Structure 1
């Protein structure tokens, strides 16, 4: 019987027209090209990460799910729609503006069979001076006015721009129009979905030199014009050794913590926990083992790990299921 231990995965990297090389600052070995996404913990047909450490090294997260089940992932640790791991954890390097986009809810008729909608959140790891994002629509924008703006080429006038800096957090429920913009490095926690509807893509060519597909009708159908419940917050007021709740949804709870010295923590039988190291370094310890950690690393802590400790000086995101 394998004793539970923190799992670290080999990321799946995705080339994107808006990507760059900034993820190399975390010591990640990137393939050539414009790398926009590192899928750090993933169990999806479009990318499944493999364990790098310990007895389970070489197994995909899908195999972990199938072989070790609820004991390791928790009683809540599976999607009710497709049985997969319920979350997808990414690091995003926005060397250029992303497309303006929106995600559907789980019950949208246009979803492919077995695919989920997407609610997500962003934590800004780094942002160049003057960086911004698109976050929602301007007041008074309706389906009709947005459709007209798309037709006459004035859609950017309908979009709400928000300045960003490191430490900012954005909760993005399905139905929220959004786009990361150039100069931003982000940790993203989301439903395990790869469904994105592009509203506008700056009339630029994709990696193949051709315009990328837009999804105007689907986008207009799923936008929450009267408000999606999106919220943003500054996170400077974190007390070492205490968790600050950043996002709470039906799909995940995300908290920010500051490690200063030694912090004793625990998982629960209901849910795994995911740690994203935002900055700093130290050691992750549990009964029978220890792992050094540094910024940019992500760890899946099994539900049956129970007691563990974080040592060092670091900023950490912790995610688990509600």
Structure 2
């Protein structure tokens, strides 16, 4: 069988802080309330997304890798990860703030949870007036002063708040304290991991359980990066009809493209799958004479065996992700 550009059926996740923008802005199809996350491409155990259309419909990523191996992910990725897929792609809508949290490194996550760590990045798609993200500390702290701030209820006073707008981008390495604030909708690219250490949750009660959510204070203390930075935001420039570097890390590489017209892409020298996430407008992806439309809030997966495509749009912003 010849592989083709693949869309997956998203998985929708209830969150205590979730809103309705994934439905009203991104046209996601669900009926539940407080949906905070749309998992677009996932190989998390028990939460695998399935191919939505074409001859491979109903298959999971794991199925595809098992059947087609490096044709799906590339020789290097297959050699490194086997049948596991290394990335998880999400859209997130925060009606109220997320908990203050931190993620463990690859080494600690493997040791404690037999999981990948969770290095991730955010691309802000929409932000209400004065909406904020929490990223890192706003002053120098150490383990002792952090614990004191936590115990005395002053943890928010030592955290860095950035007011954000559309297009703002942040790389969140493991160990960096962070939280998405109320009124922010974003695209998240991360390692395949669902390990989060919750540090502070505003003493909220989850209506579905009638209880506060579990905190992971002790687990978090040893993984936090206590260093201070004056700027946590990713600086980048964007030229139209060009591939602009956004975040390149050891775990994934993300570029941003503003497409006005046609862009030809040749991936002959790229030993990886490619994922396109449409964050504004709508684009057509042309492959082997067939056109695949990707609207705002949609994600499409390009198997590594595909080398030549054309991207067409009157005006679209697209994230391009690969390993």
Q: Are the equivalent residues in 1 in contact too, given 2:70–2:77 (CA < 8 A)?
A: yes
1:315 — aligned with what? 317
State the alpha-carbon separation in 2 of the partners of residues 30 and 145 from structure 1. 44
After the TM superposition, which parts of structure 1 deviate over 6 Å for at least 4 consecutive aligned residues? none
Encode CA deviations 1:172-221: one digit per residue, 9 max, x unaligned: 00010000000000000000000000110001112312010100111111
Mapping 1:257-276, distance limit 5 Å: 257-268=257-268, 270-276=271-277
Deviation of 1:231 (Å):
3.9
Determine whether 1:212 maps to 2:213.
yes
| Unaligned 5+ runs, structure 2 | none
Determine whether 1:26 maps to 2:6.
no
1:140 — aligned with what? 140
Determine whether 1:291 maps to 2:292.
yes
State the alpha-carbon separation in 1 of the partners of residues 118 and 79 from structure 2. 13
2:177 — aligned with what? 177
Deviation of 1:80 (Å):
4.0
State the alpha-carbon separation in 1 of the partners of residues 150 and 142 from structure 2. 12
TM-score (norm 2): 0.94
1:256 alignment partner, SS class? strand
Encode CA deviations 1:159-180: one digit per residue, 9 max, x unaligned: 1111100000000000100000
1:66 — aligned with what? 66
Deviation of 1:138 (Å):
2.0
Encode CA deviations 1:228-249: one digit per residue, 9 max, x unaligned: 99842355x4111112211111
State the alpha-carbon separation in 1 of the partners of residues 230 and 265 from structure 2. 31
Q: Are the equivalent residues in 2 in contact too, given 1:39–1:91 (CA < 8 A)?
A: yes
Change (3 A) 1:230 1:217: farther
User: What is the root-mean-square deviation in Å for CA atoms of aligned residues?
Assistant: 1.8
1:56 alignment partner, SS class? coil
State the alpha-carbon separation in 2 of the partners of residues 225 and 32 from structure 1. 39
Determine whether 1:17 maps to 2:16.
yes
Determine whether 1:50 maps to 2:50.
yes
State the alpha-carbon separation in 1 of the partners of residues 152 and 82 from structure 2. 40
May I ask how many residue pairs the two structures share in their alignment? 319
State the alpha-carbon separation in 2 of the partners of residues 315 and 85 from structure 1. 25
1:65 alignment partner, SS class? helix
Encode CA deviations 1:126-172: one digit per residue, 9 max, x unaligned: 00010101010121111101101111111111111111000000000
Deviation of 1:227 (Å):
5.1
Deviation of 1:46 (Å):
4.0
Q: Are the equivalent residues in 1 in contact too, given 2:109–2:117 (CA < 8 A)?
A: no
Change (3 A) 1:286 1:229: farther
Determine whether 1:302 maps to 2:303.
yes
Change (3 A) 1:278 1:108: same
Q: Are the equivalent residues in 1 in contact too, given 2:62–2:83 (CA < 8 A)?
A: no
